[in-house]
Structure 1
């Protein structure tokens, strides 16, 4: 068959050719695989345990009293409304996580739509662009923002910025579009402090794009209102660097920004980076290359602004907002060291930075003929495949990040004071205890499920006990912590339901008198279990960790919550010794 026929737009309807169809299928399949892996991990590891800053928002009454108050330098009004809704519905964190996922889905769909709507050369949806946008938005490289219910504002501000720029440049020049863009910019400011940059950037790029003067002036006026509202009562956090000091240290700020953007690439390439300085040069070089590419695209846009398509101005504004956000972050945090710039929370803007530049290059290539367009699509697909191969590794890190909260959850339900576990969710253990009092009293969050009220009750009569042998597993170890009379046990093990051929992620710890004295939960990864059972237990996510109110001489058994209202005993028991 003549290879030229593969590129014949008449081969399939609406401009589809076999290579384009294949690349689109791979891009979408890769994105769906990335999404599926993330959703499965979030579903398995979900915990309602409040974490870090989230402990500041543990009751509806407290939040309603500080709706317009600052969280550090941020006005997080919209996220606070979400926190209130989650608490009103039980405090399970479900509302927060669903909000994060819906924001990411909307952001990915919006980027894909922008590339399609803003490209007159294509007569078909740009599914390759959609694939890489969705894979970017659901990449677990940004695991902190995806697996921490508090981070609705961190994903929200970038999605609102993109939406604002899309309306400015693709939404027409009417009053409704202008008002909508202004409202989106204001909403971005009510998510995070860097949101205050959205409308000034929109006004500046709109001026360069030759938008109508009345629209540019409207954005400029809205910018002044938003900036004024934000600065009223604004105080920079004491522990941050002074922006004036940052001006005197441009090299430090520049290196921080370069590392900020380099992290996703470094992770995908698996380059070693350590606090002792290993790998930092590679980070700076990669980040600087990305910034140079962004500058090149920006300079090209300025020189050719009369011939640029609206979507290109939208992408330019998006990239400018992300770079400006990174600079503002560096100005306040560069004194923390470069290692802080590799925080996974910055994975969201860094991934979007690279994605938007890739989409822009993909868009430009489509003007250079079908072969060049297919080559650019092939490059985009390679990026999607890189995100696919990285996803399992990042998901494992995400699960470890979430699992660090399990011991505190188990200790609070068991009613024991495990200071080390509490420090894993907040630096001051007493803050954890004080903040969860309302949650415990109102049966919210981790105290909402029935098992949270079973401590001190006899197992018999509380649950139906299933026959021995239904569950496989073991109590691998236990150690006594604390001092008398408040001693408690930290217990680990694994569990598997033979009948349902499924992991058991919730367990009760019962003493020799048959009284429920502790709680355990998973999943934790235990690669040793499949190997040790001859693959009869095929799942590695069967580990658990627990806490029990028990002292020396107590014998503990573990019972898995295999069915509603029923528990299956794990084989064996363990006696606690000093």
Structure 2
């Protein structure tokens, strides 16, 4: 049964003065789900309602009482139920107001209305509310027996709408495994490897170092945990990225519950649909790059902060929610530079909400100023190349339409979608200004879309000079996919009462996954293992001190002479501290055995050959070797092979290259027996392939 709570007072107007003391109606001041004031009339006297209790310190002239009635009892007691059906079923109100709980579906509503009309004919005067069990006995048994069945709104056919979201989630997790590499990539060399080396050297102030123009204090803490506990091979960081993706999805589901939770089927379909953009492989660079936890946090924390504030505005007595909103907004500032906007957005939502007071606004402004002051302490501005205003505008438009640009390989389509997106956001904001939607979560999502747009504008200031193609980089797709999800929820909220809304959501649930499916399948394609192998080859070059710029460019794209020297210095520091990828057994064996006589090592001959070798263009002292290796007794491919010349170990190579010829001639398990590595020639003698013993190579 749905329960209604509120506060009532006896009527004092002259229109009811002739009804007598025992027949005086009771007027109840309430609010519906749209925050509109309503006055409902209860036929009866407050003295006859024994379950009512007097509210604290009521005015003597108009004593007030509180009540808690089942919805059929309201009609039986004479409530004017006009507008009652539009009230939000989960709205929580303060002392003067009411809360409705439960769901009123069409058939159930008609049955209850019919039941209430029957009760009205039998009860025209006062009714003792304490005899609630007697009222429930009047209901037909069929009404109670079928209530559970009517709440199961999902059908068997709706299960098909969970197939594609499940595929996206599973394929993304498998993609994170297949694309995994323990080798740091790009910014990780400076801000994870060198950062932890500084910590080992006792410079704890490295936690406060800038990462370009950002303060990434939270990510630094995660990097420290990864190196301190998990060896710095980024397994922990990739797992954190997946967890942050799930947290973003949960936040959007919470927003959907607030906006469309009164329609269970629509809510569940929305949750399933939201899993597709949240776990899309379009953001692959953020998924398999351990450095990108700060990118997820820069949007997770502001979104959670806005939702906490909106939740507090719905239930102001839950004071912990506003505290959490402020804490999350403060933490947002130490994820990325755009996280500084989280606190000003809290000020805006508080000022536009119904719970605004000058004291709260001033407190929040003070916290904002203090956070900005802490963030700018010892801050060094990072210079960026400027770009014309036209290019910056184009960059923002392409940034907003990035997913479509990646899918259709067209910057024009991305720009067109970006323009449409700006128009959609403006339309949704106008709907709130006109009062069509006043839900606090609606306002929170509107402000979140503004936050993403501001992040795109900030990115255009520093990145548009590098070309418009950078606007559709995979790492930028995370905020844009969140933006699409927020806009979808806002439109669904506006049209949730229409009969066509659920079919439209079902259609979108079919169309969107099909459009994104080709990109999603890349997660489980053959590209991932090959990319991981090439990164390990670059790490082997750094481990041997070899200047192979083509290979090193795969893990540090800025492969000019200055940056190559920088990354070699960072690698030497990591080798000295025995951390990161250089602490793996294969890298340790390469450092320990290359340059020594083969008798002084634990190497044994194995099947294989060196098919080709050539000096490196930028480092003629070193050679690049290609060939294959296979351990026949154990019928396995060793992870690392060694090149021996005249009983001297001259080089090391990593296996993993597909060799169909070895598969056909030697063993079907030797498919990936091909290797590639580095070494130095000491003469012109024959080259032999050696492998570690079984216990070392495993």
TM-score normalized by the length of structure 1: 0.80
Residue 221 of structure 2 corresponds to 81
* Residue 252 (str. 1) matches residue 391 (str. 2): yes
* Residue 222 (str. 1) matches residue 357 (str. 2): no
Contact 2:631 2:638 in 1 (8 A): no
Residue 509 of structure 1 corresponds to 642
Q: Tell me by how many angstroms 1:46 deviates.
A: 1.4
Residue 294 of structure 2 corresponds to 153
Contact 1:147 1:398 in 2 (8 A): no
Residue 375 of structure 1 corresponds to 504
- Greater mean deviation of Cα atoms: 144-153 or 451-460: 451-460
* Partner-residue secondary structure (3-state), 1:366: coil
Contact 1:74 1:193 in 2 (8 A): yes
Residue 319 of structure 1 corresponds to 449
Q: Tell me by how many angstroms 1:523 deviates.
A: 5.2
- Greater mean deviation of Cα atoms: 543-552 or 102-111: 543-552
Q: Tell me by how many angstroms 1:384 deviates.
A: 3.1
1:425-481 per-position Cα deviation (integer Å, ceiling 9, x unaligned): 24311111111222111211122122222232566785575975xxxx876643222
Residue 260 of structure 2 corresponds to 119
Q: How many residues align?
A: 533
* Structure 2 unpaired stretches of 5+: 1-106, 108-145
Which of 169, 172, 175 in structure 1 is aligned with 2:310?
A: 169
Which of 152, 156, 160 in structure 2 is aligned with 1:18?
A: 156
- Greater mean deviation of Cα atoms: 441-450 or 186-195: 441-450
Contact 1:415 1:549 in 2 (8 A): no
Q: Tell me by how many angstroms 1:190 deviates.
A: 0.4
Q: Tell me by how many angstroms 1:324 deviates.
A: 0.9
1:87-116 per-position Cα deviation (integer Å, ceiling 9, x unaligned): 223222223222222212221222223323
Which of 208, 226, 231 in structure 2 is aligned with 1:68?
A: 208
Cα distance between partner residues in 2 of 1:83 and 1:48: 14
Residue 140 of structure 1 corresponds to 281
* Residue 302 (str. 1) matches residue 433 (str. 2): yes
Which of 607, 624, 629 in structure 2 is aligned with 1:490?
A: 624
Contact 2:260 2:266 in 1 (8 A): no
Distance change >3 Å, CA 512–CA 60, structure 1 → 2: same
Q: Tell me by how many angstroms 1:421 deviates.
A: 3.3
Residue 572 of structure 1 corresponds to none
Superposed, 1:227-376 pairs within 5 Å as 227-241=372-386, 250-268=389-407, 270-271=408-409, 279-304=410-435, 307-369=437-499, 371-376=500-505
Cα distance between partner residues in 1 of 2:403 and 2:668: 34
Which of 421, 439, 446 in structure 1 is aligned with 2:574?
A: 439
Cα distance between partner residues in 1 of 2:175 and 2:501: 33
Distance change >3 Å, CA 498–CA 322, structure 1 → 2: farther
* Partner-residue secondary structure (3-state), 2:645: coil
RMSD of aligned Cα (Å): 3.8
Residue 89 of structure 2 corresponds to none
Q: Tell me by how many angstroms 1:181 deviates.
A: 1.0
1:290-317 per-position Cα deviation (integer Å, ceiling 9, x unaligned): 2222222222232236x33333223222
Distance change >3 Å, CA 440–CA 382, structure 1 → 2: same
Which of 160, 165, 173 in structure 2 is aligned with 1:36?
A: 173
Q: Tell me by how many angstroms 1:364 deviates.
A: 4.0
Q: Tell me by how many angstroms 1:11 deviates.
A: 6.7
Distance change >3 Å, CA 208–CA 466, structure 1 → 2: farther
1:160-191 per-position Cα deviation (integer Å, ceiling 9, x unaligned): 12211221112543432112111111111101
Q: Tell me by how many angstroms 1:408 deviates.
A: 2.1
Distance change >3 Å, CA 512–CA 467, structure 1 → 2: closer
Distance change >3 Å, CA 102–CA 553, structure 1 → 2: farther
Cα distance between partner residues in 1 of 2:340 and 2:244: 19
Q: Give the number of the structure whose alpha-carbon radius of gyration is greater.
A: 2
Cα distance between partner residues in 2 of 1:13 and 1:466: 71
Residue 405 of structure 1 corresponds to 535
* Partner-residue secondary structure (3-state), 1:454: helix
1:377-427 per-position Cα deviation (integer Å, ceiling 9, x unaligned): 330343234333312336666666655533321112334343443344243
Cα distance between partner residues in 1 of 2:344 and 2:294: 20
Distance change >3 Å, CA 20–CA 208, structure 1 → 2: farther
Superposed, 1:409-420 pairs within 5 Å as 409-420=539-550
* Structure 1 unpaired stretches of 5+: 272-278, 568-578
Cα distance between partner residues in 2 of 1:114 and 1:135: 16
Cα distance between partner residues in 1 of 2:534 and 2:214: 26
- Greater mean deviation of Cα atoms: 129-138 or 474-483: 474-483
